[in-house]
Amino acid sequence: MSAATTTELVHAYRRLLRAGLRAVQFSKPSRSTVTAKLREGFRDPGAKFDPERVRRTVWFLNAAAQQRGLEHRIVKNLCRVHWERAREASRTAWRLRVRHDEAARERKEGRKKDPDVIKGTEYEHYERTIAMLNDSMGLCLR
């Protein structure tokens, strides 16, 4: 596969953006989610451009825009999870300070807290599912 030209990338970005915004019906929290994920995907230096995957993703997003079927629910849930993760990340600084204070208090009192084995792996299954969906259908959803 040859390297993509700038115009091909711009056209692909615009097609995906238009189809994505139609799929979420220009709703306020979802449209910012779609734009953020699309920018993240196109700015990723390790990402590979595949025009066939872009074409199939545009078809998928157009199907999500046309009727409230499985495609619409998938896009809706992708936006919701991304929004929740961003919201969680924005509150992390406060949470870390509280946890740090709690840990200091526990050390002072002599109590030990069990390490959280789930922390950092909450979205592993979700990300694998999206990767398998992309592989099986030839899409480039994030």
Domain ranges of the chain: 6-112+119-137
pLDDT, tens only, 121-141: 788 999 999 999 999 999 999
Q: How confident is the model at residue 1 (pLDDT cuts 50, 70, 90)?
A: very low
pTM of the model: 0.78
Phi, psi of 76, deg, nearest 5: -60, -45
The Cα 105–Cα 92 span in angstroms is 20
The Cα 10–Cα 109 span in angstroms is 59
Mean predicted confidence (pLDDT) in 58-64: 96
Q: What is the pLDDT of residue 88?
A: 80
Q: How confident is the model at residue 4 (pLDDT cuts 50, 70, 90)?
A: confident
Residues in contact with 72: Cβ distance below 8 Å, sequence separation at least 6, in sequence order: 23, 64, 65
Mean predicted confidence (pLDDT) in 69-74: 95
